[in-house]
Amino acid sequence: MTNGTTFPAKTFAAFWAAFWLLMISASLQDALRNPATHWWEPVLWEGSSALIATNWMLLAIRVRGRYAPYLAKPLRWFGAYLRWLPVVVVTWIAMAYAIRTGVYAMMGLSYQHPGWGFVVVYESVKLTIFTGLWLGVLFGVDSYAQWRVQRHRLLQTQRALAEAQLAQLQGQLRPHFLFNALNTVSALMHTDVARADQLVTTLGDLLRISLRTHGNEMTLLTEELRTLALYAEIMRERFRHRVTLSWQTDDTILSVAVPALLLQPLLENAFKHGVERTTTPVHIEVGARRAGSLLQIVVSNSGTLLAEDQKDGVGLRNCRERLSIIYGAAASLVIRNEGDCVAARIAIPLAGVMP
């Protein structure tokens, strides 16, 4: 572990070993076609190269954390490594040729090679190409590992920000929700004490459910509908003779998780814009069903239709923002006139929240 990134040592080692096995195999095949060359000679040549190169590569990997800050500046990163190339060339030539000379001597033979001037030039060019190739591989591995770490940190930061935004939005919604319910109770206290008392009991049930979901952004659809039913009961007491409600829910989706208190602003709007603004009877319908990979929820009301210049209030803006944070573009909230009704339609992916 270096600089927060995990080096894929086993994978890199496998590629390194495969590369040198390929080099040895190719050299061995060439040697077998030359009767004057013993089979062990190409193995010795490439094997000594592999031994020395492996030690240099292990050193490069070991100090990679020192150069990790330069990954964003490739030229500087490569320059930091390549400044050691003259040392690599000198030590590699000295050690490789020493090993080969020693092994040949043990075999009672003399290691024949071109003049040292040619050796230095030839090996320098070859080592420069070889070093550039494997440094490119190392750079790619480290860059990818660092990108993954940065992406993970970015996702964590985004998730923390989203959770903070959701907590803020939910904190805005609960007082707004409670304020509307208390207003309804207050409107009845001076006209029908018994009904007001019953509403206080219902409000108590509603608050208990609300407290159970406090701190939890998601809740089961069945709990969300239970909360909505209690809120509807309070509001219906206020407009007892002017509103009827019906529920159309697919029982197979009751265990689906939805954002807590998501539907209350929609029902609140149905009462505020559909019931309060007219003296004629209003029908409100709440429905939830599965549509392919989506959960579709609708709250519709008769009565006053949506004005062309109608703008979202606090509750609806809250709903849109929460859907966007949790599901991204996969969820939607559409409010429109449909015949003689106003319908608020929510579509949520059944697969869950954004990754």
Q: Is residue 207 part of a domain?
A: yes
Q: What is the pLDDT of residue 169?
A: 47
Q: How far is CA 148 from CA 5, 61, 62, 353, in A?
A: 8, 19, 20, 22
Chosen domain end from 54, 80, 113: 113
Same domain, 173 and 55: no
Quote the pLDDT of residue 173.
Answer: 45
- Last residue of one domain, picked from the residues 74, 90, 113: 113
Q: What is the pLDDT of residue 355?
A: 43
* pTM of the predicted structure, to 2 decimals: 0.51
Residue 236: predicted pLDDT = 80
Same domain, 327 and 228: yes
The helix (run of H) or strand (run of E) holding residue 295 is: strand 294-301
Say if 108 falls within a structural domain. yes
Residue 307 and residue 204 share a domain = yes
- Structural domains counted in the chain: 2
Q: Do 179 and 242 sit in the same domain of this protein? A: yes
pLDDT class of 307 with cuts at 50, 70, 90? confident
Model confidence at 301, pLDDT cuts 50, 70, 90, reads very high
Whether residues 99 and 189 fall in one domain: no
Work out the mean pLDDT of the chain and round it to a whole number.
Answer: 81
Same domain, 92 and 187: no
The stretch 332-353 carries a mean pLDDT of 88
Higher pLDDT, 317 or 290: 290
Is 181 part of a structural domain of the chain? Answer: yes
User: Of the spans 134-143, 200-209, 242-251, which averages the highest pLDDT?
Assistant: 242-251
Q: Residue 269's domain is classified under what CATH number? A: 3.30.565.10
**Residue 142 falls within a domain, yes or no?**
no
When pLDDT is cut at 50, 70 and 90, the band that residue 41 belongs to is confident
Question: Do 214 and 344 lie in a common domain?
Answer: yes
Whether 322 is covered by a domain: the verdict is: yes
Are 202 and 53 members of one domain? no
Q: Is residue 81 part of a domain?
A: yes
Residue 178 lies in a domain: yes
- 180 and 109 in one domain? no
Asked if the structure places residue 137 within a domain, the reply is: no
Residues 108 and 168 in one domain: no
Containing structural domain, residue 304? 161-349
Same domain for 311 and 253: yes
Dump pLDDT digits (tens) for 83-99. 888 998 999 889 989 99
The residue among 93, 113, 133 that closes a domain is 113
Q: What is the pLDDT of residue 299?
A: 95
